[in-house]
Amino acid sequence: MYTFLSGLYKHLTRREAYYIVIIGLDNAGKTTLLERIKSIFLGVPGLPPERIAPTVGLNIGRIDIGGARINFQDLGGQTDLQSIWERYYRECHAIVFVVDSSDPERIEECKNALEKVIMDDTVEGVPVLMLANKQDMPTALRLEQIKEIFNQIAERLGARDSRVLPISALEGTGVKEAVDWLFLRVQRNKANRPPIIISQ
Ligand SMILES: Nc1nc2c(ncn2[C@@H]2O[C@H](COP(=O)(O)OP(=O)(O)O)[C@@H](O)[C@H]2O)c(=O)[nH]1
Ligand SMILES: [Mg+2]
């Protein structure tokens, strides 16, 4: 009886968990994005911008959406696969690459960093979402300009899902749409990268 009940309980409480890494150059807005996601989906106020310190190590955000759990992992400034972060890439279900649209001088550096990560076999087939952040700034590169730059890479992404979306992590615009895109894509890519089954 106990076994049956505990089995039933496990069955009823089981859910799919997905891991999504957030990467990009330092100062792109990764931690601000993570705090914004938490505040939108958990209904808690995120950290005020002045309290977001440069990231040392890992920031984690966990949200529940559509009966599943999504764990966001902000890997700090790290976009190097040959590092202690390799495990996070190997196990992730999607990659979010945050771009500071207000910093055109570093766009080339951005491109190289993204290329370095997504061309690695470790993340083959994993959906990639590029976020043109800081769209609230008047000087920001427009979405079309960012797309033009990153489409050159997207062509080499093969059959995997990829997209460029405009956001302002600071103001929250576009963030929900970005998470919705990700949720749909990790589910669609299940056969290639199955979710982790958790029970709670
Ligand atoms: N105007 C504007 N500033 C932003 C936005 N997102 C982040 N920032 C600012 O950019 C700086 C770096 O943000 P942070 O999240 O620490 O970047 P990280 O190094 O990628 O984690 C901070 O001063 C943020 O307030 C945005 O959407 N708009
Ligand atoms: Mg950070």
Q: What is the pLDDT of residues 23-62, one digit of tens each?
A: 999 999 999 999 999 999 998 776 777 777 776 678 999 9
CA gap 15, 32 in Å, rounded: 28
Does domain 13-199 fall under CATH 3.40.50.300? My reply is yes
Question: 57: burial class by Cβ within 10 Å (0-12, 13-18, 19+)?
Answer: exposed
Residue 33 confidence (pLDDT): 97
For the chain, state the CA radius of gyration: 17
Give the position of tokens 């929900």: 176
In the structure, ligand 2 is a single-atom ion and the residues with CB under 5 Å from it are 30-31, 55
Q: What is the pLDDT of residue 159?
A: 72
Check if 29 has its Cβ closer than 6 Å to any atom of ligand 1: yes
Q: Tell me: the pLDDT tens digits for 118-171?
A: 888 899 999 999 999 999 999 999 999 999 988 888 777 777 899 999 999 999
- 146 token code pair: 């960012």
For the chain, give the mean pLDDT.
90
